[in-house]
Structure 1
Amino acid sequence: MDSALTSQLEEGCRILNVAQQPQDQPQLLAYLELLIKWNKAYNLTAVRDPAQMVTKHLLDSLAIAPHLRGQRLIDVGTGGGLPGVPMAILFPEREFHLLDSNGKKTRFLFQVKTALRLDNMTVHQARVESFAPEAPYDTVLSRAFATIGDMVGGCRHLLGPDGHFLAMKGVYPEEEIAVVAESCRLEAVHELHVPGLDEQRHLVDMTPR
């Protein structure tokens, strides 16, 4: 892996105060290497530049780490594994399920799980509305849902009694939050600062009413 990318990730992790275990950053870089390689054939992400991938994918995902809740989490519409794979690397003691309906993307994720030996990560290929988990989740996490309303409507059946929705968003999604005000209680909106990214990022934390 390019030393400039390694330095970029190290500096970003230092600023965010995450990925401090000896295995974390090598694992994150190994994931990035797989993402770059498979992206050429599988079109996993529109971001092609490796340095941009570090910022817009790895560090963007890692920024939510302090706000994760619960022991059993599901990343819905995970795509190429964001933020699910970085979170599984960071928190080996937690259980992460990654759900996507796209077969190419889930095949890639099975490869990541095997190559990185992520025993705490389970991959599911299914549409969210038809997915029936063995047990409910503490947190439903998503970076890719079109709206918070869609997320709440489509994923409510996945949550346990005290479960949380964590929605990764760009600008503060005032209108989207208002749409679900009757069905969800807003617990917090965390403003995230992603190193090297000159764009707004927010993490919306909600619980069903």
Structure 2
Amino acid sequence: MVTPQHSIELYTGARELGVKLSEVQHDLLLAYLALLIKWNKAYNLTAVRNPDEMVSRHLLDSLSILPYIGDSPSWLDVGSGGGMPGIPLAIMFPDKQITTLDSNGKKTRFQTQVKLELKLANLQVIHSRAEAYQPEVPFSGIVSRAFSSLEDFSHWTRHLGGPDTRWLAMKGLHPADELVALPSDFHLDSEHALAVPGCQGQRHLLILRRTA
């Protein structure tokens, strides 16, 4: 159940991140949290079982990458699981096309239910493996959250982007060893330490690009 404390934690944490939430965005994020709590009991959508931890570890963690989304109009969230960060991105950027991709049917069914209940017209949910998915046009941004190694992330999704696409990998500890194994046609464009309110441990965002 979503409590008034969750509402306060979301508002306060977003403000610490420099994210200004409208009343509609705040309410939609909490409605998404309520669905996540409800469905998680049966569908095992996330390893975080305690609703009190979900605001920081899911909502605020997803919001922490907002400054790096930029003008890119179409985003793919690979291995989206319970919909993070794709669904919060769809809520925050109603003018962008957000696609979530996961090979787990239970998780994409949940995401489809969220799309219907929250009326997220800009959200597309795809049930597929990343390497098998063939979009009509490349995405301008591809994001993953604790999905795989940087090597696998870039290898499995290189066909989903174009020459101007940015790949955003959300990580915990800085993955120096994974950077060494990056495929030769990818390079590290920038890296950022993220301070997520209420989250213990390190958070890092690595931005990759294709090498021409």
Q: TM-score range by the shorter chain?
A: over 0.9
Q: Is the 8 A contact 1:15 1:195 kept in 2?
A: yes
- Kept after mapping to 2: 8 A contact 1:19/1:90: no
**1:39 alignment partner in structure 2:** 40
Residue aligned with 1:23, SS:
helix
> Relative to structure 2, which stretch is displaced further, 85-94 or 12-21?
12-21
Shift of 1:198: 2.1
Matches within 5 A, 1:6-155: 6-69=7-70, 70-155=72-157
- How far residue 86 of structure 1 moved from its aligned partner, in angstroms, is 0.5
2-structure distance, mates of 1:19, 1:45? 26
Conserved in 2, the CA contact under 8 Å of 1:78 and 1:144?
A: no
Equivalent AA in structure 2 for residue 128 of structure 1: A
Count of aligned pairs between the two proteins: 209
Residue 137 of structure 2 aligns to a residue whose secondary structure is coil
After TM superposition, the runs of 4+ consecutive aligned structure 1 residues lying more than 2 A away are none
CA distance in 2, matches of 1:181, 1:192: 25
Are 1:38 and 1:108, in contact at CA under 8 Å, matched by a contact in 2?
yes
**Do 1:72 and 1:139's aligned partners in 2 also have CA atoms closer than 8 Å?**
yes
**AA partner of residue 46 (structure 2):** T
Instruction: Give, in angstroms, the shift of residue 182 of structure 1.
Output: 2.5
Instruction: Judge conservation of contact 1:19–1:25 (CA < 8 Å) in 2.
Output: no
Give the whole-Å Cα distance in 2 for the aligned partners of 1:200 and 1:206: 19
1:47-92 C-alpha deviation (Å, 9 max, x unpaired): 1111101111111111011111411110000000000001110111
Question: Does the aligned pair in 2 maintain the 1:129–1:154 contact within 8 Å?
Answer: yes
Cα offset for 1:175? 1.1
CA distance in 1, matches of 2:159, 2:27: 36
**Bigger mean CA offset, 55-64 vs 173-182:** 173-182
In structure 2, runs of 5+ residues without a counterpart are none
SS at match of 2:205: strand
Give me the whole-angstrom Cα distance separating, in 2, the residues matched to 1:34 and 1:19.
23
RMSD: 1.0
Letter in 1 for 2:57: K
Write the deviation string for residues 103-151 of structure 1: whole angstroms up to 9, x where unpaired: 1000000100011111110000011111000111011100032200000
What is the TM-score with the length of structure 1 in the denominator? 0.97
Asked whether the 8 Å contact 2:167–2:207 carries over to 1, the reply is yes
Q: Which runs of 5+ in 1 are unaligned?
A: none
